[in-house]
Structure 1
């Protein structure tokens, strides 16, 4: 086989049917027949590219491809390294296998080496890209962990803090744990408090509040107040207690 002309498509080295035929010691008709008989094994884009119309015209317009395709050809098959392997397997001759080994070690290998970073600038750019990809991966993991944490709600220690804050606020509004208002309305105020809290954060129970909204929840607790009617009831009961004591 004479010196192999380099044929590339979109930066990828390929071979024409004629080039494979010459290298494998056969003719183009045999390669075409072999392809037609085993079409189910060949995948376009993986084993070969078929150029027609505008794509073929663009390929022909490249001066490097002047001798690759006939002037009046209306289509062109270009074979990848994997396509060349399938043809070698189908032919099964020593000559085909020997030539395939040469192609892998020289023709296609040069393309692989060409794609590796050669200059210090290219190598630095590759390392920088690797760092960017790593940072993106770490960010994805962090987001996944945060999402998973939110799904499980508050840790027990955080939930306990909220529970104590609720109790403290209820005692404050009812006038103390042993006040008349608390004895009669304490349970109602607790229910009202938790109902408002759960509705505010759209959860079934306060411990389901996402950890990412914990600070927001504590701020809400600090600002919460009983409803107007409940407040009137509390004041009425506690005022009644003061009146009874004075009497």
Structure 2
């Protein structure tokens, strides 16, 4: 695991993780627990692993920890995530020791058990990520609440009324209809939908921002102006 990825898991930055490693550097065995990817004897293309050349140049060390090294780092870190993972290791260690007596093919030494637990933890993490993604997808694609839908309608009416007021406030119902048509078409275009009833949670913020910034298109302004001219012509 790269320090960069460990920092994300623990909700911190790479500098903090690197400092913890540096303060306890003698506890990590080179080549077994940890590898510095910036040392001359390591043949690896860092740019292929998401590092920019600027990041490579600025970094004094780019550490890669083995599962064994990460398990040692957990003993050093004091954040809640480290304790949660460590508790899982401890519980899993004793559970697996019990199973070893019944199933000889399971690892018996602590390091192998920890490694097996880390692999299982990775599987759990991937499952959790998939579940979180699914929950997020369901939330984002949920229909708008009645209050949110009504608020969008209210803001549309307010924006059309404000624009009509700016023009003098004496627009006909047909001219106002052109304004409503323009803003509603804009909402549907922004959200990529055919009708406003298809609006979803993920659209709400963008739609509100659009309505707040809305101005009629040049075509709509021209049509309204032509309608005004037609009204002024004598019968």
With normalisation by structure 1, the TM-score equals 0.43
With normalisation by structure 2, the TM-score equals 0.45
Which structure has greater strand proportion? Answer: 1
